[in-house]
Chains A and B, each alone.
Chain A
């Protein structure tokens, strides 16, 4: 079964840091670009970051550029998102999402999400 499982969310104070992980299984992780998408409570979806197969191409939304860092470990079938200088507006469920095969235009497989709450 193709599966993505996020972890690492929690409550953090403004200015703090957190590292999210996404464990992939059921497919060849090293063959797919991966993404992070977030959803603030009661709000819509917002793309956060993308990373290519070999990590040679990385992109961020302007809202997180300079504060968040995406990375991956193909040997461990894992995707990561380092969140620094967190703000209240970063409070959201963070989803990892896999592209369609050889097509980075859509998010075909999603994890269940991990909640990040930034509050003092």
Chain B
């Protein structure tokens, strides 16, 4: 089973700052099958990035994804107030079919 470990658990930043979130896999995964989601309290998750670096429809270009193998990164170039939320990475393809990281909470400093 592939385990995704996200770091940090909580990230405290101010609007306008740059956020860098990490997702590390316990074994190498195809970058085609790494995605990122944003979830705000009381809401369903929203797909941000698929294929490690492709933005989903309607996602602002301040969100970017990168990485390969076992190390992947979600970067938010300049934080807006609405970006403070929990972020999850997710992989596809290994038993179980889909796994999620435990999440990174991005909070206002």
User: Which residues of B sit under 8 angstroms from A1, Cβ to Cβ?
Assistant: none
Total chain B interface residues with beta-carbon distance under 8 A: 25
Question: Can you list, as one digit per residue, whether each of B49-85 has a CB less than 8 Å from chain A (1) or not (0)?
Answer: 0110000100000000000000000000000000000
Measuring CB to CB, which residues of chain A are less than 8 angstroms from any residue of chain B? 35, 37, 44-47, 50, 59, 61-62, 95, 100, 103-108, 110-113
- A81: shortest Cβ distance to chain B, in Å? 16
17 sample A-B contacts, Cβ–Cβ < 8 Å, listed by A number: A35-B98, A37-B98, A44-B88, A44-B100, A45-B88, A47-B96, A47-B97, A47-B98, A95-B44, A95-B45, A103-B50, A105-B35, A107-B37, A108-B47, A108-B56, A111-B44, A113-B44
Between A and B, how many residue pairs show CB distances below 8 Å? 57
Which of B's residues lie within 8 Å of A, judged by CB? 32-33, 35, 37, 39, 43-47, 50-51, 56, 88, 90, 92-93, 96-103
Give the distance to chain A from B22, nearest Cβ to Cβ, in Å. Answer: 16
B45–A45 contact, CB under 8 A? yes
| A113 CA to B96 CA, complexed, in Å | 22
